[in-house]
C-alpha cells in the first residue's frame, strides 16, 4: 500500500499541521455543535479528505475520548472500525471529478431522507466538488437548504472560487494551508523510522523542498526513493533516483542562454539526453531555478532568505541574476511551462524543449524591439495597439528574416521535418478552417483520451470559421457547453487536439448562438464567414499580450512574495 495511505492519520492528534482547523472542529464536537455542511478548501495533498474522514468518525464514535483540550474518536468501537475499513454504508464518498458524480448526487437526493442504517450520522464527503455540473450543484443546493438532522456534508475542493456562492454560503468554510517545511521534515523522519530507513537531515530537507508544502507529494517522493535505495538515504540518492541535476549544471545552462548562445544550449540539452537525463525532470529543474532567479531579481535578498537552500546555492542565484534580464527569463519560463504539458504527448521529448529554446529567444528579440527597454516590458503590460492580440501565444515563424539564430532554427526545423511527418499538413502555418471543419470528428476523438467530458461538451459545438485574429470560432447552442469549453484547462485540451490532428496550434474562441441559426450541412457552414466578428470581446480580455510582474505572480500562484 502507498505510504500516504498506510500513514493516513486516524485521529485528530495524528494530523500534521492544520492546527487551526483541527482545534476548531474538536471544540465544536466537544460542545455538540456539529454542523450540517462543511467546505474544506486548499491545495492538494494537505489533508482535506483525511480530516473529513476523522470528522466522520468523531461524529459517529460510540465512545469518544474527551479531554480538557481535545475530542478524539476512540478508533476501536464498531463505528470507528467500520469507517476506517471503508465498509460503513452511511459514509458516502463521491469524487465529483469522475463521470459518475452527477448520478451520485441524484442518488443522494433520493436517499438523503432515509435515516442512517447503522451510524448516528450519514456523512457525505464530496471531493473536488467544484467539478460538479450545474444540474448537480442545483440538486445539492436543494439538499443543503433543508438538510435532515442525521446528515453531514463535507465538501472538499482545490478551487473554491468555482463553487457557486449559494453553496459556499451554506457551509462552514475551513481553509487548509500548505504545510510548513518543518512539519513535512518531521513527518518524513517519523515515517522513515517506522519503515526502518535512515533518512539524512539534508535528504529530508530536500524532499520537503521538492514537495512544495504538500505532504502527500512528500510521501510519494519518499516512497519512490525508498524503492530505489534501501538503508541510508542521502541527498545525492534523491538526486539520482529522481534524475535531478545539480544547481551548478542548471546554472551553466542558463549562462549559455543569457549569453545568447542558444545553439550551444541546445547541444547541452542533447548531451544530457544522451546521458539518460529525463527531460521532464530537466524542465522541472529549469522552471524551479528560473523561478528562483526571477523572484530574486524582483524582490532581492529578502526572497533568498525565505529559501531552504545552501549558502553556495544562494550565492549562485545572486550571481545568475545578472545573466539574463527579467523579460527574457519570463518569456523563457512561460515556454517551459508549456513544454511541461507537451512532453507527455511527444514521441521525441527533445523536440518541445528545442522549440521552447528557439521560441523564447526569438520572441525576446521581438519583445525587446517593441518596448524601449527590457525593464519597461517587465513593469507594465505592453499596450501597443500595433501589437496583435495574444501575440506571445502565436507560433513564431521559424523562417522570419533577420531574427537571431534563424539559420540554426531552420536547420532544426528541417531536421525534425525529416524525422517526423505531421499528418496531412503540407505546411504547418497554413491550416485552413475547411481543414479543421473536415477533420472535426478526428479532433473530437483526439480530445477524448485527455478528457471524456471535454470531448462530450465539444460535441455540442460547431466549428465555424477562423476570425481575423486567427482564432477558430466554435458556436454553441447551450451556454453550459460553452462555459465548460471556455475553462482555461479545457480550452487547452481542445487546442492540443487541433494541434494533434492538424499539426498547428490554433487558439479557439466560443460563441453562443440561437438554435434556429444552426446550419445542418457542412456546405452551409461557410455562409457565416463573419461569425467571429460578433464574438463577445470579454471572452479574451483576460489574455494580455504583454508580460508583467502580475503575470509572474500569477504563474507562480502569487504566494511567494
Ligand atoms: Zn469509536
- List, for residues 317-357, the tens digit of each pLDDT value: 888 888 788 888 888 888 888 888 888 777 787 888 888 88
Instruction: Please give the average per-residue pLDDT across 109-122, as a whole number.
Output: 89
C-alpha cell at 25: 472542529
- Within 10 A of 277 (CB to CB), how many other CB atoms are there? 17
Task: Say yes or no to pLDDT of 409 above 90.
Answer: no
Measured in Å, residue 16 CA sits from the centre of ligand 1 at: 21
Where is the domain boundary, 175, 200, 218?
Answer: 175
Residue 42 placed within a domain: yes
- Tell me the C-alpha to C-alpha distance, in Å, between residue 550 and each of 122, 127, 558: 45, 31, 8
- Which residues have CB under 8 Å from 365's CB, separation 6+? 403, 404
Q: Give the model's pLDDT for residue 129.
A: 94
**Residue 16 and residue 38 in one domain:** yes
Q: Give the model's pLDDT for residue 159.
A: 93
Task: Say yes or no to pLDDT of 449 above 60.
Answer: yes
Q: Give the model's pLDDT for residue 432.
A: 79
Measured in Å, residue 65 CA sits from the centre of ligand 1 at: 8
Q: Give the model's pLDDT for residue 89.
A: 92
**Which residues are registered as beta bridge partners of 465?**
473
Measured in Å, residue 396 CA sits from the centre of ligand 1 at: 63
Q: Which residue has the cell 474562441?
A: 509
DSSP secondary structure letters along 484-553: HHHSHHHHHHHHHHHHHHHSS---EEEEE--GGG---SHHHHTT-TTGGGGS-GGGGTT--SS--HHHHH
Residue 560 placed within a domain: no
Q: Give the model's pLDDT for residue 445.
A: 86
Task: Say yes or no to pLDDT of 552 above 70.
Answer: no
Measured in Å, residue 344 CA sits from the centre of ligand 1 at: 46
Distance of CA 44 to the CA centre of its chain: 10
Q: What is the mean pLDDT of the chain?
A: 78
Confidence of residue 520 (pLDDT cuts 50, 70, 90): very low
Rounded Cα gap, residues 123 and 95, in angstroms = 14
Q: Give the model's pLDDT for residue 214.
A: 93
Residue 541 placed within a domain: no
Residue 125 placed within a domain: yes
**Residue 450 and residue 525 in one domain:** yes
Instruction: Please give the average per-residue pLDDT across 236-248, as a whole number.
Output: 85
Measured in Å, residue 56 CA sits from the centre of ligand 1 at: 11
Measured in Å, residue 9 CA sits from the centre of ligand 1 at: 15
Rounded Cα gap, residues 385 and 9, in angstroms = 56
357-396 pLDDT per residue, tens? 887 776 444 444 444 334 433 333 434 444 344 333 333 3
Instruction: Please give the average per-residue pLDDT across 23-42, as a whole number.
Output: 95
C-alpha cell at 192: 522513515
**Residue 49 and residue 156 in one domain:** yes
Q: Which domain holds residue 9?
A: 3-175
- Cβ atoms of 502 and 436 within 8 Å: the answer is yes
Residue 424 placed within a domain: no
- Cβ atoms of 150 and 121 within 8 Å: the answer is yes
Task: Say yes or no to pLDDT of 58 above 90.
Answer: yes
**Residue 366 and residue 506 in one domain:** no
259-310 pLDDT per residue, tens? 888 888 889 899 888 888 888 888 888 998 898 898 888 887 788 877 767 7
Measured in Å, residue 7 CA sits from the centre of ligand 1 at: 19
Measured in Å, residue 38 CA sits from the centre of ligand 1 at: 21
Residue 428 placed within a domain: no
Measured in Å, residue 93 CA sits from the centre of ligand 1 at: 20
Where is the domain boundary, 119, 148, 175?
Answer: 175
Q: Give the model's pLDDT for residue 155.
A: 97
Q: Give the model's pLDDT for residue 529.
A: 38
The residue ranking higher by pLDDT, 547 or 40, is 40
**Residue 283 and residue 336 in one domain:** yes
CATH number, residue 206? 1.10.8.60
| 175-214: b (≥16 Cβ within 10 Å) or e | ebebbebebbbbbbbebbeeeebebbeebbbbbbbebbbb
Q: Give the model's pLDDT for residue 354.
A: 84
- Cβ atoms of 326 and 301 within 8 Å: the answer is no
Measured in Å, residue 83 CA sits from the centre of ligand 1 at: 9
**Residue 414 and residue 278 in one domain:** yes
CATH number, residue 352? 1.20.272.10
Q: What are phi and psi of 67, to 5 degrees?
A: -125, 180
CATH number, residue 476? 3.30.300.180
Rounded Cα gap, residues 129 and 141, in angstroms = 12
Measured in Å, residue 216 CA sits from the centre of ligand 1 at: 26
Measured in Å, residue 112 CA sits from the centre of ligand 1 at: 24
Instruction: Please give the average per-residue pLDDT across 55-67, as a whole number.
Output: 95
C-alpha cell at 273: 539526453
Residue 559 placed within a domain: no
CATH number, residue 77? 3.40.50.300
CA-derived radius of gyration, the chain:
27
**Which residues are registered as beta bridge partners of 135?**
none
Say how many domains are in the chain. 4
Confidence of residue 100 (pLDDT cuts 50, 70, 90): low
Measured in Å, residue 246 CA sits from the centre of ligand 1 at: 49
Rounded Cα gap, residues 494 and 548, in angstroms = 27
Measured in Å, residue 230 CA sits from the centre of ligand 1 at: 37
Rounded Cα gap, residues 380 and 206, in angstroms = 36
In 158-310, the DSSP E strands lie at 172-175, 198-199, 232-233
Task: Say yes or no to pLDDT of 482 above 50.
Answer: yes
**Residue 166 and residue 33 in one domain:** yes
**Residue 256 and residue 211 in one domain:** no
**Residue 18 and residue 68 in one domain:** yes
Q: Give the model's pLDDT for residue 362.
A: 63
**Residue 257 and residue 403 in one domain:** yes
Measured in Å, residue 82 CA sits from the centre of ligand 1 at: 10
DSSP secondary structure letters along 335-379: HHHHHHHHGGG-SSTHHHHHHHHHHHHHHHHHHHHHSSSHHHHHH
Q: Give the model's pLDDT for residue 321.
A: 82
Long-range own/partner contacts, residues 553-556 (CB < 8 A, 24 or more apart):
555/333, 555/334, 555/337, 556/291, 556/295
C-alpha cell at 164: 457557486
Asked casually if ipTM beats, i.e. exceeds, 0.85, the reply is yes
Rounded Cα gap, residues 198 and 406, in angstroms = 52
Where is the domain boundary, 116, 147, 175?
Answer: 175
The residue ranking higher by pLDDT, 199 or 345, is 199
**Which residues are registered as beta bridge partners of 127?**
95
122-177 pLDDT per residue, tens? 999 999 999 988 888 988 999 999 889 999 999 999 999 999 999 999 999 999 99
Measured in Å, residue 88 CA sits from the centre of ligand 1 at: 13
Confidence of residue 430 (pLDDT cuts 50, 70, 90): low
Confidence of residue 99 (pLDDT cuts 50, 70, 90): low
Task: Say yes or no to pLDDT of 400 above 50.
Answer: no
The residue ranking higher by pLDDT, 109 or 407, is 109
**Residue 214 and residue 169 in one domain:** no
Residue 462, classed as helix, strand or coil, is strand
Measured in Å, residue 19 CA sits from the centre of ligand 1 at: 22
**Residue 371 and residue 291 in one domain:** yes
Task: Say yes or no to pLDDT of 406 above 80.
Answer: no
Query: Of the ranges 98-107, 224-233, 451-460, 528-537, which is most confident?
Result: 224-233
Residue 209, classed as helix, strand or coil, is helix
The protein residues having their C-beta less than 5 angstroms from ligand 1 (an ion) are 61, 73-74, 77, 80
Rounded Cα gap, residues 244 and 282, in angstroms = 7
Residue 236 placed within a domain: yes
- Tell me the C-alpha to C-alpha distance, in Å, between residue 173 and each of 150, 157, 559: 20, 11, 21
- Cβ atoms of 221 and 228 within 8 Å: the answer is no
Min mean pLDDT across 112-116, 122-126, 208-212, 352-356 is at: 352-356
Measured in Å, residue 55 CA sits from the centre of ligand 1 at: 11
Measured in Å, residue 321 CA sits from the centre of ligand 1 at: 57
- Tell me the C-alpha to C-alpha distance, in Å, between residue 70 and each of 19, 27, 74, 239, 270: 12, 7, 12, 41, 58
Nearest one of 13, 133, 42, 37 to 559, comparing CA atoms: 42
Nearest one of 17, 13, 21, 19 to 65, comparing CA atoms: 13
Amino acid at each position: 500500500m502507498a505510504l500516504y495511505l498506510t500513514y493516513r492519520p486516524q485521529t485528530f492528534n495524528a494530523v500534521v499541521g492544520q492546527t487551526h482547523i483541527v482545534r476548531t472542529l474538536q471544540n465544536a464536537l466537544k460542545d455538540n455543535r456539529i454542523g450540517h455542511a462543511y467546505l474544506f478548501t486548499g491545495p492538494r495533498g494537505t489533508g482535506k479528505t483525511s480530516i473529513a474522514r476523522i470528522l466522520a468518525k468523531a461524529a459517529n464514535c460510540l465512545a469518544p475520548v474527551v479531554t480538557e483540550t481535545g475530542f478524539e474518536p476512540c478508533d476501536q468501537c464498531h463505528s470507528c472500525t467500520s469507517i476506517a475499513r471503508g465498509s460503513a454504508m452511511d459514509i458516502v464518498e463521491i469524487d465529483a471529478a469522475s463521470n459518475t458524480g452527477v448520478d451520485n448526487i441524484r442518488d443522494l437526493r433520493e436517499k438523503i431522507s432515509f435515516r442512517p442504517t447503522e451510524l448516528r450520522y450519514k456523512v457525505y464527503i464530496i471531493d473536488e466538488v467544484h467539478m460538479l455540473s450545474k444540474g448537480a450543484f442545483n440538486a445539492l443546493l436543494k439538499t443543503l437548504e433543508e438538510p435532515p438532522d442525521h446528515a453531514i456534508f463535507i465538501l472538499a475542493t482545490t478551487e473554491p472560487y468555482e463553487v457557486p456562492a449559494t453553496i459556499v454560503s451554506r457551509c462552514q468554510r475551513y481553509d487548509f494551508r500548505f504545510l510548513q517545511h518543518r512539519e513535512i521534515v518531521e513527518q518524513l523522519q517519523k515515517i522513515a523510522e517506522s519503515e526502518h530507513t535512515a533518512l539524512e537531515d539534508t535528504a529530508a530537507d530536500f524532499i520537503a523542498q521538492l514537495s512544495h508544502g504538500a505532504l502527500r507529494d512528500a510521501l510519494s517522493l519518499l516512497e519512490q526513493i525508498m524503492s530505489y535505495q534501501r538503508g541510508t538515504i542521502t541527498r545525492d540518492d534523491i538526486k539520482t533516483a529522481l534524475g535531478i541535476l545539480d544547481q551548478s549544471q542548471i546554472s551553466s545552462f542558463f549562462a549559455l542562454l543569457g549569453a545568447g548562445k542558444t545553439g550551444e544550449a541546445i547541444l547541452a540539452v542533447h548531451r544530457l539526453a544522451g546521458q539518460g537525463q529525463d527531460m521532464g525532470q530537466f524542465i522541472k529543474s529549469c522552471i524551479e531555478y528560473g523561478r528562483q532567479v526571477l523572484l530574486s531579481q524582483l524582490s532581492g535578498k529578502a526572497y533568498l532568505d525565505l529559501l531552504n537552500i545552501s549558502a553556495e546555492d544562494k550565492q549562485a542565484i545572486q550571481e545568475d541574476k545578472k545573466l539574463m534580464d527579467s523579460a527574457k527569463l519570463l518569456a523563457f519560463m512561460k515556454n517551459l511551462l508549456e513544454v511541461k504539458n507537451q512532453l507527455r504527448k511527444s514521441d521525441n521529448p527533445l523536440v518541445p524543449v528545442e522549440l521552447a529554446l528557439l521560441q523564447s529567444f526569438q520572441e525576446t528579440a521581438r519583445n525587446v524591439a517593441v518596448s524601449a527597454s527590457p525593464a519597461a516590458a517587465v513593469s507594465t503590460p505592453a499596450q501597443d495597439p500595433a501589437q496583435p492580440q495574444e501575440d506571445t501565444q502565436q507560433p513564431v515563424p521559424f523562417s522570419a528574416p533577420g531574427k537571431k539564430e534563424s539559420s540554426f532554427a531552420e536547420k532544426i526545423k528541417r531536421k525534425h521535418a525529416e524525422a517526423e511527418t505531421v499528418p496531412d499538413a503540407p505546411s504547418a502555418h497554413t491550416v485552413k478552417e475547411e481543414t479543421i471543419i473536415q477533420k472535426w470528428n478526428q479532433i473530437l476523438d483526439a480530445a477524448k483520451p485527455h478528457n471524456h467530458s471535454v470531448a462530450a461538451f465539444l460535441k455540442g459545438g460547431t466549428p465555424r470559421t477562423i476570425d481575423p485574429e486567427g482564432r477558430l470560432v466554435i458556436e454553441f447552442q447551450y451556454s453550459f457547453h460553452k462555459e465548460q469549453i471556455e475553462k482555461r484547462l479545457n480550452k487547452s485540451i481542445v487546442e492540443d487536439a487541433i494541434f494533434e490532428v492538424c499539426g498547428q496550434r490554433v487558439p479557439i474562441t466560443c460563441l453562443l448562438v440561437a438554435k434556429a441559426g444552426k446550419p445542418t450541412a457542412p456546405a452551409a457552414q461557410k455562409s457565416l464567414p463573419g461569425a467571429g466578428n460578433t464574438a463577445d470581446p470579454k471572452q479574451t480580455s483576460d489574455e494580455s499580450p504583454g508580460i508583467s510582474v502580475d503575470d509572474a505572480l500569477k504563474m507562480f500562484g502569487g504566494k511567494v512574495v
